[in-house]
Structure 1
Amino acid sequence: MLFLGGRSVKNRLTFPSRTPGGTESPAGGSGALALHEVTKHYGSGENRTQALKGISVELARGSFTAVMGPSGSGKSTFLHCAAGLDRPSSGEVWLGGTPLSGMRESRLTRLRRDRIGFVFQAYNLLQALDVRDNITMPLRLTGERVDPAWFDEVVERVGLTGRLHHRPAQLSGGQQQRVAVARALITRPDVIMADEPTGALDSRTGAQVLTLLRDLVEELGQTVLMVTHDPLAAAHAQEVLFLADGLVVDRLMAPTAHAVAGIMTELGDR
């Protein structure tokens, strides 16, 4: 049990249950994403660095979770392991009912493409393509047909109607990030993973993007996992997980920017 600022928090926030035959699975099998005793280290010997130290977390479907922590706390490694971009040194990661451990790289690539939507700080749009083609790129890569009704709903939700034939250079930063959110949504992913999605935006535009993500959770049941350094951004989430030294050391439900900033100040004094 870890103690911080008068609150007691278990490092293992939820525990995956064991199914018959000894295979680990997310508790109840209903979570969107689960990490069980995940560790990650880099290097060896004197150069060995342990970025994650036995983290167990489950995200419910239709939840919006922010991850925060001081520099070097392990939050980027947490996101990369959760997304299958990096393999844990030990432990299990489950996307829905699918275990990622032992999965071949080619299958893992397909899973990331089909079941995880990514939103990055730098947008990562293809400058030669217009908005429509950037949004539908994940489907075009797999040869899947675009569902016109779903495409129209996504475009309307992100506020890009009338911009479909513009190229990224013709859009504001906020509009480009909306394209990135639409691209993440188009495959109907299990989870959207956002890495500092408002880091390149001004406060007003960033708030609009975060409100959009929260609306997707509340109105569509989308699951969102977001890494951020900004207490104002974290306050848009339903829950905040705080990492320090590779451990989950605190969590905050129904966060406010003031409460988040207070915990981050405490972590900085550790």
Structure 2
Amino acid sequence: MDVVRLDAVSKVYGKGQGAVAALREVSVGIPRGSFTAVMGPSGSGKSTFLHCAAGLDVPSSGSVRLGGTKLSGMGEDELTELRRKRVGFVFQAFNLVPALDVVENVTLPLRLAGARVDRGRLEEILRRVGLEGRAGHRPAQLSGGQQQRVAIARALVTRPEVVFGDEPTGALDTMTARDVLRLLREVVQSMGQSVVMVTHDPLAAAYADTVLFLADGRIVDAMTGPTPEKVAERMTRLGAWT
């Protein structure tokens, strides 16, 4: 079963002559246990795609399913609960709480949901992301790469069905970005996690199983077994860097 499925999803902002179509009849399934990158020129609809797929935004038409759950028709409270329990998020700005230490930041989604913290799982996640020696540190005491590892651990702690990344390496230097991407790759391979990542970077996209290319609100191509060179060449043909 697909972990996320979009069927004929369109998203229009504004009305009348000022209306802008950010997505146009997008249909795609994201396989469970896969790493999918989403690329496209600026304004192609990448962020809107992610927001609609994750239940952060409501499509103007079409349907989105998370596993077997259809999101259309759900109220905001229901969507909030679904996102909290079944979806993880990793953003470019790490979005950590400065006053909380690593453990408190990682377990925040559980406490917001009123759920019990499984200490064994918490320790396992901190070990996997390489933070077992940093549990009591606050964000200001961590490097950018370590802060993003905290964000990834926070995204994983609720055992989500899918983790969405919005330019998760955009604020990191090249070497640190590669460490974070290898970590995302590892959580797919060793934990069976599903990851969907929006990126503008061909090097980042090459860590994925599949790259979806968006242009003018439509999926215009998909690439399996991507390499940085193939991705860059395809982006150039989309007019992204000409």
Q: TM-score, normalised by structure 1?
A: 0.88
Secondary structure of the structure 2 residue equivalent to 1:194:
strand
Please name the residue that 2:98 is paired with. Answer: 127
Please name the residue that 2:40 is paired with. Answer: 69
Unaligned runs of 5+ in 2: none
Name which of 35, 40, 59 aligns with 2:30.
Answer: 59
Deviation at 1:44, TM superposition (A): 1.0
2:69 equivalent to 1:98:
yes
Secondary structure of the structure 2 residue equivalent to 1:268:
coil
Deviation at 1:127, TM superposition (A): 0.1
Name which of 50, 73, 77 aligns with 1:79.
Answer: 50
Runs of 4+ deviating beyond 3 Å: none
Q: CA RMSD in A?
A: 0.9
- The aligned runs of 1:50-199 (5 Å cut-off) are 50-199=21-170
C-alpha separation between the residues in 1 aligned to 2:140 and 2:59? 38
Paired positions, count: 241
C-alpha separation between the residues in 2 aligned to 1:58 and 1:210? 22
Q: State the Cα deviation string for residues 48-95 of structure 1 (Å, max 9, x = none).
A: 111111001101110000000001100110000001111000000000
Name which of 227, 230, 235 aligns with 1:264.
Answer: 235
Unaligned runs of 5+ in 1: 1-29
C-alpha separation between the residues in 1 aligned to 2:206 and 2:134? 30
C-alpha separation between the residues in 1 aligned to 2:101 and 2:189? 29
- The aligned runs of 1:233-252 (5 Å cut-off) are 233-252=204-223
Secondary structure of the structure 2 residue equivalent to 1:107:
helix
Please name the residue that 2:9 is paired with. Answer: 38
Deviation at 1:164, TM superposition (A): 0.5
Mark the structure with the bigger radius of gyration. 1
Q: Which amino acid aligns with 2:235?
A: M
Q: State the Cα deviation string for residues 15-55 of structure 1 (Å, max 9, x = none).
A: xxxxxxxxxxxxxxx11100000000011111011111100
